[in-house]
């Protein structure tokens, strides 16, 4: 298990990363990030070994690099990045909470996208003011101001329309800031991770609620799950068929092979069945 991570300005690796790597049993740490780190792990270099699978989110260049090397050189977890947040809110939502959530996801990078969907036009009208009030107190103001160019506030007829939009968009993170959020959760078909209610910020999923922070983006939540324990495992199947077992399965195999017009497949069974008849 190896780790590639960009160093800080002083050339050192952040101590929190070192501590987390130690907890996870990482054997080697290399200073490097971005698409170049993806290439190094996919192909191997004089100092960085070639790996079997690459995990972790990144910007659009990292995501494209992972998809490119994942075609034939190495497995990847999923396309993950740039970051996304979709919020569905009703009249019971707190506009200051919503603004804080939009900003928390926007600070990931200038190419992050955040969207708020609601049937309450009065709620939507309060959001720009709430954002401006909070942004002046945040540290990454330059990134936030650029990222907010991708923010959208969308008015819909009702919550069902909002849910339909969400399932089509398939967000990385989805917050249901609704009065009875759990009731609507059964209608969620496509999302990386879902946060229910007004007191479940997306930040909780990043750090402490127990779910994983590495999630599919770019509508890939329609076909990928978030990172989990099974992502680090693979299954190998074994078969051992007895003579009686082949007598039972053989005709089925022959019929299926014949339907696919693969006579060599069929003959590999037929020759064995004939040998059993001669016993």
Of 172, 202, 213, 254, which one is the catalytic site residue?
172
One digit per residue, the tens of pLDDT, for the chain of length 279 reads: 999 999 999 999 999 999 999 999 999 999 999 999 999 999 999 999 999 999 999 999 999 999 999 998 899 999 998 999 999 999 999 999 999 999 999 999 999 999 999 999 999 999 999 999 999 999 999 999 999 999 999 999 999 999 999 999 999 999 999 999 999 999 999 999 999 999 999 999 999 998 988 999 999 999 999 999 999 999 999 999 999 999 999 999 999 999 999 999 999 999 999 999 988
pLDDT of residue 158: 98
- With beta carbons less than 8 A apart as the criterion, state whether 167 and 80 touch: no
Assessment of whether the complete model's pTM goes beyond 0.75: yes
108 catalytically annotated: no
pLDDT of residue 266: 98
The full set of domains in the chain, from first to last, is 2-76 (3.40.50.1980), 84-231 (3.40.50.1980), 243-277 (1.20.5.1300)
Q: Give which of 69, 62, 72 is closest to 42, Cα–Cα.
A: 69
Of 84, 107, 108, 173, which one is the catalytic site residue?
173
CA atoms of 112 and 152, how far apart (whole Å): 12
172 catalytically annotated: yes
pLDDT of residue 55: 96
């Amino acid at each position: 298990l190896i780790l590639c991570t960009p160093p800080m300005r002083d050339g050192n690796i952040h101590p929190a990363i070192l501590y987390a790597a130690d907890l996870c049993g990482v054997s080697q740490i290399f200073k490097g990030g971005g698409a170049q780190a993806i290439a190094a792990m996919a192909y191997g270099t004089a100092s960085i070994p070639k790996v079997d699978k690459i995990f972790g989110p990144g910007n659009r260049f990292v995501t494209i690099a992972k998809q490119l090397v994942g075609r034939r050189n190495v497995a990847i977890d999923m396309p993950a990045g740039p970051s996304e947040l979709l919020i569905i809110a009703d009249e019971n939502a707190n506009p200051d909470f919503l603004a804080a959530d939009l900003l928390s996801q926007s600070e990931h990078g200038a190419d992050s996208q955040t969207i708020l969907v609601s049937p309450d036009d009065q709620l939507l009208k309060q959001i720009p003011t709430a954002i401006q009030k909070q942004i002046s107190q945040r540290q990454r103001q330059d990134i936030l101001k650029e990222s907010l160019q991708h923010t959208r506030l969308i008015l819909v007829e009702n919550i069902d329309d909002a849910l339909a939009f969400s399932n089509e968009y398939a967000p990385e993170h989805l917050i249901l800031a609704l009065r009875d959020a759990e009731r609507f959760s059964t209608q969620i078909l496509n999302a990386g991770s879902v946060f229910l209610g007004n007191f479940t910020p997306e930040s909780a999923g990043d750090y402490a609620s127990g779910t994983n922070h590495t999630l599919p983006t770019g509508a890939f939540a329609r076909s990928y799950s978030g990172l989990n324990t099974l992502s680090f495992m693979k299954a190998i199947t074994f078969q051992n068929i007895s003579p009686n077992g082949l007598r039972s399965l053989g005709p089925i195999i022959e019929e299926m092979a014949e339907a696919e017009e693969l006579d060599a497949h069929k003959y590999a069974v037929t020759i064995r069945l004939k040998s059993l008849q001669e016993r």
